[in-house]
A = this chain, B = another copy of it.
Amino acid sequence: MDLFEAIIKRRDTRHFTSEEVPSSVIDICLQAAKNAPSVGLTEPARFLFVNDAATKQKIHEIFEAENQKAADKITDLARKEAYNNLKLQGIMEAPLGMIVCSDYSTIKADTIGVQTMAEALDWSVCCSIQNFWLALTSQGFSMGWVSILDVKKLKETIYIPDHYKPLGYFCIGRPATNYNNMPMLKQQGWTNTR
């Protein structure tokens, strides 16, 4: 697929069909992710996959608790209702789940580019995530980035190595809609940007 077609078609997806994601699709996405820029050539992105419903359920509960807190912060009642009507994740429905982490064991005393701006390690991982997302789009699949999560609870709930920092949970699958070719939050009238 053409680069710009992939960039334009890429969506943050929360509605999925039940179609399984072939491992060959993910292999191509991981290859794209590996070719992202990384500070000091650390290649710090780590991809953990979630297949079983029991684990998804636990992650969904962490989402629900944080999502409730976010809703509680909204004082305008109409806005709060609109917020509660938004579908912000597809954790249970998406056939594949993924946690993407920064591996802090890649930082050594002589690692280039992280001595002053240590966050650059996470930023490298984000470039990998974007490459992964574009590669997924080019193959007819999509994902949604869930950042309404308490990372401490996530690490207490499922095994993630101590030196891995999770940047979010990703719901992966075949999109059930493209939201009329616009971001869902725009389609739903939540925000007027774009």
Kindly identify which residue among B74, B117, B148 contacts A116, using a CB–CB cutoff of 8 Å: B148
Kindly identify which residue among B7, B73, B186 contacts A32, using a CB–CB cutoff of 8 Å: B7
Is the CB–CB distance between B194 and A37 below 8 Å? no
Interface residues of A (CB under 8 A from B): 1-8, 10, 12, 32, 34-37, 39-43, 66, 69-70, 73-76, 79, 83, 86, 88, 109-110, 112-117, 119-120, 122-123, 126-127, 129-131, 133-135, 138, 145, 147-151, 167-168, 183, 185-186, 190-191, 193-194
CB nearest to A69 among chain B residues? B115
Kindly identify which residue among B76, B112, B190 contacts A185, using a CB–CB cutoff of 8 Å: B112
Kindly identify which residue among B109, B123, B185 contacts A126, using a CB–CB cutoff of 8 Å: B123
Given contacts A10-B37, A116-B147, A120-B145, 10 further A-B contacts (CB under 8 A): A41-B185, A41-B186, A43-B194, A88-B112, A88-B113, A112-B148, A117-B151, A117-B168, A119-B167, A120-B168
CB nearest to A62 among chain B residues? B116
- What B residues does A122 contact at CB under 8 A? 119, 122-123
Once bound together, how far apart are the Cα atoms of A120 and B151, in whole Å? 13
Is the CB–CB distance between B109 and A75 below 8 Å? yes
A161 to chain B, nearest CB (A): 19
A91 to chain B, nearest CB (A): 14
